[in-house]
Amino acid sequence: MKAPETSAPKRRSSAATGKTRAKTPKASKLAKAKPLKIKARSREEWLKLAPYLNALVDEYKVPAYIQSDPLQIPYRFAGDPKACELVAFMTALFSYGRRDLIMETVTNLFRITDNDPVAFMEGFNPRRDAKLFRHFVYRFNKGPDLVHLWQRLQWAYREFGSLENLFLASTQGLAANENRLKIGIARFTDQLLGEAPPQTYGLKFLFAHPDKGGACKRFNMFLRWMVRQDMDASAGKVDLGLWKNSLSPTELLVPLDTHVMKMNNHLRLSNRTDNSWQTAEEITEIFRLLCPEDPVKYDYALFGFSLDKRPPDEILAAWR
């Protein structure tokens, strides 16, 4: 499906001009967790936190949230599930850095495809089309990273028909208690990258791998978009809920970004201070205690509260 044209943003993006130079990245290593000296809380104490977080979910998980979030980009293709899934995946991959620059860059990226990403992906020819991305630069990523990504997405949709089917194949034979999420992300990533992907920093950064211990924030955010079902019509729909067969909302992991970690430092949902898969698991376990059927809805509460720079005592004083 071809998305309607949108007005060009005021600031020219690096995707269109190539003028923004990528910063030289430093080798990234997960810092060792420094356990916080905190008193262990009982189940009853954690449950007392639920009303305050539920109120924040009601405040922030509203359709207006989409207007200032990269999620607005896949919503432009909401009438075509295949296009919406493809656009959501690519949007999530590039969702690092400032939100305005993310949306500007990704919008321009799909403008290159004439706002018809499925047709572009299905007919992608690297010899012919690589030149379209020769000026693409967004922080750690350059044109060759996109060329490889389009080629592999073309393979995935040709072989499986959808990214959900690729994820299903990646979790085949696994029970939920076998950590289907982590194994599924690892296998999905390995298959999508291919047997011999270019060893660029940009591609390695785009495809964080759970086996290396990272929180895989952007992939978990993509899964939240795809899997969560906003069934309460009065509250309005936010997450897309396109995937019906691969995962349940109960299995999702919180997308661990700087805002969630900042709130964790105050609420002490986890006693870890590193941005790791284990930290995300420990935070999600508390969320699962508060709402077993939909734990990652609390991502809205912590993200929105921190983004608005509200004082943590607003929660802590009442909770205590």
Q: For 75-127, write each residue's pLDDT tens digit.
A: 999 999 999 999 999 999 999 999 999 999 999 999 999 999 999 999 999 99
Among 85-89, 163-167, 312-316, the range scoring the smallest mean pLDDT is 312-316
Q: Confirm if 216 and 181 have CB atoms less than 8 A apart.
A: no
CA distance 34 to 89: 33
| pLDDT above 80 for 187 | yes
Q: What is the mean pLDDT of residues 132-144?
A: 94
Q: Is 22 exposed, middle or buried (0-12, 13-18, 19+ CB in 10 A)?
A: middle
pTM over 0.85: yes
Strands (E), the chain: 137-138, 141-142
Residue 2 has pLDDT above 70, yes or no: no
* pLDDT value for 178: 77
Kindly report the average pLDDT of the chain as a whole number.
88
Would you say residue 8 has pLDDT above 70? no
Cα–Cα dist 245/162, whole Å: 12
Are 101 and 13 contacting, i.e. CB atoms less than 8 angstroms apart? yes
At residue 1, the pLDDT reads 58
> 223-232: which pairs have CB atoms within 8 A and are 24 or more residues apart?
223/181, 223/247, 223/252, 223/253, 224/252, 224/255, 224/296, 224/299, 225/71, 225/74, 225/88, 225/92, 226/85, 226/88, 226/164, 227/252, 228/252, 228/294, 228/296, 228/297, 230/61
Q: Which of 146, 23, 155, 26 is nearest to 93 (CA)?
A: 146
